[in-house]
């Protein structure tokens, strides 16, 4: 028998500890404006944060007002999630979507880009300060 623990919590200090997230994300009315870019930012920040909280292979089920907008964001974060399903729901005055994604074990796109940059760095001289400024991460100069 599987036991299910439910959490209603902030993601702070919960790294790699959750099997699934079920969320009814804001629809724009409660966020203070109906601006599409506000929802896009909300969706993207939610997905970026959730990736660090979820265990590998874990799933997120989201009820969202703008399913197409969310799928574009998932494609933008293509190395982090696999889109499993999108189902539109007919309601009285909206067409929200139920979107299900699965967390990938590693950010495959990021790993591929880092591998390419590592290979190409032998042809270009870049200081550690420049690398850090461009990629927002430090490099270990002792390994070169």
Same domain for 82 and 138?
no
Same domain for 67 and 112?
no
CATH of the domain at 3: 3.40.50.150
Instruction: Find the farthest-apart pair of alpha carbons in the chain and give their distance in angstroms, rounded.
Output: 62
Q: How far apart are CA 60 and CA 69, in angstroms?
A: 16
- Number of domains composing the chain: 2
Same domain for 6 and 35?
yes
Same domain for 115 and 98?
no
DSSP state of 74: H
What domain range is 9 assigned to? Answer: 1-105
Q: How far apart are CA 14 and CA 18, in angstroms?
A: 8
- How is residue 29 written in tokens? 């009315």
Per residue of the chain (144 residues), what is the pLDDT tens digit? 667 777 666 666 666 678 899 998 877 655 555 555 678 888 888 898 888 889 999 999 999 988 888 898 998 887 889 999 999 988 888 888 999 999 988 777 778 887 887 787 778 776 777 666 666 655 555 544
Are 82 and 49 in contact, with CB atoms under 8 Å apart? no
Same domain for 58 and 121?
no
Among 65, 54, 73, which residue's Cα sits nearest to residue 15? Answer: 54
- How is residue 71 written in tokens? 């799928």
Output the pTM of the full model. Answer: 0.67
């Amino acid at each position: 028998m599987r036991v299910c623990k439910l959490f209603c919590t902030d993601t702070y200090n919960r790294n790699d500890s959750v099997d699934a997230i079920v969320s009814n994300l804001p629809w724009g009315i409660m966020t203070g404006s109906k601006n599409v870019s506000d929802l896009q930012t909300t969706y993207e920040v939610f997905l970026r944060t959730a990736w660090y909280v979820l265990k590998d292979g874990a799933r997120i089920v989201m009820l969202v007002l703008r399913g197409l907008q969310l799928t574009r964001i998932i494609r933008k974060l293509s190395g982090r999630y696999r889109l499993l399903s999108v189902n539109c729901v007919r309601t009285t005055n909206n067409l929200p979507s139920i979107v299900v994604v699965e967390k990938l074990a590693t950010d495959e796109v990021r790993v591929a880009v880092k591998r390419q940059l590592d290979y190409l760095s032998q042809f270009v001289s870049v200081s550690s300060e420049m690398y850090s400024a461009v990629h927002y991460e430090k490099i270990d100069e002792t390994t070169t």
